[in-house]
Structure formats: structure tokens, C-alpha cells
Amino acid sequence: MSHAVVKATEQQMRTIKARYSRSLIEPPPQGALFQAKVDQCTITGYKSGKVLFQGKNAEEEAAKAKGTRQTEKKTKPADVGKHSYAPPKTIAEMNVIGSDETGTGDYFGPITVAACYIQTDEIKNIEALGVRDSKTLTDTRIKTIAPDIVNRCTYSLMTLHNKKYNQLQESGMNQGQMKAMLHQQAINNVHAKLQSEQTEAEAVLIDQFVKPETYFTYLRKSGGLQIPDIPLYFATKAEAMHPAVACASIIARYAFIQEIDQLSVHYGITLPKGAGPPVDKAANEFIRLYGTDTLKSVTKWHFNNTNKALN
């Protein structure tokens, strides 16, 4: 039987434990912080900061723990440079909170933002559901797979309804600011849920909509939000980098579709997505039936569509 020892800081210990959250043995042996058993390997983390790997797959599992340490080193503030927010090559093998949004370009309906946590041992199951970027999936497909994702994942959904959106917009807040607030709030909610389950993500990956510097400026402008002490990465097309972002995009899209469907049923008009000519037509019809105030309550009022509908 082979064995390996890895030295870990408190933070690394939490991360390693989180990696095995589904295989923990309770209670852990005396003097140990945790013990887990996976295929051909028993992992024991000690209060001394040592993690012991025992069994045929000891070396393999220990290498993963070392990988955790290396990626953490890369993200130390001392290394902060031009590309410090670009995700590491190993991102696909990490336990990640991903976030994405929907509805920002749609005249009707809210903005929805979701953050979702996917750990490495769930990735295969999630991919088997057919998870991809929500933009490449039809509404029907999203309605089919979203409930499964919601059931399997720790997630948070933020919905910014039109009334509040229009208030914020009229008070001078731009969409970027709103999105920054919503993304960070959703991420923080997931982080808090994980903490209550004694788990921690190894990284946060945001589907990038502004430069990272601008994101932080927006957060400060909006009164500031605490950012969890986990490496934070930004990337465009992040759905393709980690299923956590793809799942977040599907959850956000699913919520948006449901909102639009509910509004359509409530008002008896099919409210089209986007901001093109069919939207103008529906807006016109909407005013005729319910008046401009009601139209405002279901739209992003500052869009050009408003002027077209009023004329």
C-alpha cells in the first residue's frame, strides 16, 4: 500500500476537504479535521496541516491536492498583473462557482442573474444532462434540463424586475452596474450556502461583461459588496470553460423564459424576446390594451422601443 503526505495551509485544507465533500467519513478519527474514502484511497487531513493519502491511488490523489496549491499560488495578490483575472488552464478541473446573466438585451421582462456551484466529481453527471451555453439551446431544451440542474446544484438566482430596473436606471445607474451587483450578490449567496455545508469553492468564474477593473469600480459605486476570499476570474465565453458557468446561464435563461411566459399569460399577449420589430408590434398592442404606465411596468423603459411604441 503506497502513501503520500501533502502539507496544507488552513485555506488549502478546506479546499481539499471540499473536493471530497461527498466521500467524508463521519466522525473523523481523533486529531483529524476530516477523513474521506474514495476509490483505492483514504485521505486524512490533520490539525497539524498534514494531509495523508493512503492506498493504491495515493499518489494520484495527492497530485490533485498539490495542483490545488499551485493554482492558489498563482493567484496571490503579489502576482496581480495584466492577466491576473484570466482563469488558469486547470479551471476545468476545479470546484467552481460560475455566474451568468440573461435579459439585458430584451425590452420585455427582467434581468436574471444566476450563480451556480459545480464540483469536479459532478462535472460528468452535469455534462451528461446536455449542459451547454444557454444561447445554443432552444427554450424547450432549457425547460427540460433546467429543473435537473436546479435539483443537483447549489445555486442562487437574482431577478431584477422592471419596476426596480427602471428606478435604478432613472437614478443614473447603468446596466453594467446593475449586473455587477447582481452577479456578486448571487455569488455571495452561493458562497454562504457552501459555507453552511462546510464546503468552499476553489474559484469563482464570471462570464465577463465588463473589464474586471470596471466590475470592481461598479461594486464600489453601488455601495460595495464583500467579495469572498476565493480566487476570482473573468472570461468571455466562460460557459465553454466550466459547466458551472454553463449551468448558471441555463438557470438564468430558464427564469427569464418563465417570467416572460407568465407575463404573456397574464396580459394575454405573446411578449417577444429581444428588441426587434416583433417587440415594437407587441408594445403597440400592449399600450392599446393597457396604457403606457402598465407597459412601463413590464419593460426596460429607456430602450428605443419605447419611443417607437409611443409614436
Contact residues toward Mn ion (CB under 5 A) are 100, 207
* Span between the terminal Cα atoms of the chain, in Å: 80
Q: Which is nearer to Mn ion, 100 or 202 (CB)?
A: 100
Q: How far is the CB of 78 from Mn ion (least distance, A)?
A: 30
Q: How far is the CB of 236 from Mn ion (least distance, A)?
A: 8
Closest CB to Mn ion belongs to which residue? 207
Q: Which is nearer to Mn ion, 202 or 207 (CB)?
A: 207
**Which of these, 113, 114, 115, 74, lies nearest to 91 by C-alpha position?**
74
Cell 473589464 maps to which residue? 211
Q: How far is the CB of 74 from Mn ion (least distance, A)?
A: 25
Q: How far is the CB of 134 from Mn ion (least distance, A)?
A: 9
Q: How far is the CB of 12 from Mn ion (least distance, A)?
A: 31
Angle between helices 277-290 and 243-267 (to 10 degrees): 40
Quick count: other Cβ atoms within 10 Å of Cβ 293? 8
Q: Which is nearer to Mn ion, 100 or 200 (CB)?
A: 100
Torsion over CA: 163, 309, 103, 215 (sign)? negative
Q: Which is nearer to Mn ion, 207 or 280 (CB)?
A: 207
Q: Supply the DSSP symbol for 264.
A: H
**Which of these, 107, 146, 154, 166, lies nearest to 287 by C-alpha position?**
107
Helix, strand, or coil here: 299? strand
Q: How far is the CB of 211 from Mn ion (least distance, A)?
A: 15
Q: How far is the CB of 101 from Mn ion (least distance, A)?
A: 6
Q: Which is nearer to Mn ion, 100 or 106 (CB)?
A: 100
Q: What share of the chain is helix, strand, coil (3-state, %, to 5)?
A: 50, 20, 30
- The span from the CA of 124 to the CA of 133, in Å, is 16
What stretches of 80-228 show up as alpha helix (H) in DSSP? 123-128, 139-152, 162-170, 175-196, 212-221
Task: Name the residue type at position 76.
Answer: K
Name the pairing type of β-strands 96-102 and 203-207.
Answer: parallel
Q: Which is nearer to Mn ion, 55 or 98 (CB)?
A: 98
- The span from the CA of 151 to the CA of 235, in Å, is 26
Q: Which is nearer to Mn ion, 122 or 133 (CB)?
A: 133
Query: What does residue 150 show for φ and ψ, rounded to 5 degrees?
Result: -55, -40
Q: How far is the CB of 176 from Mn ion (least distance, A)?
A: 13
Q: Which is nearer to Mn ion, 54 or 112 (CB)?
A: 112
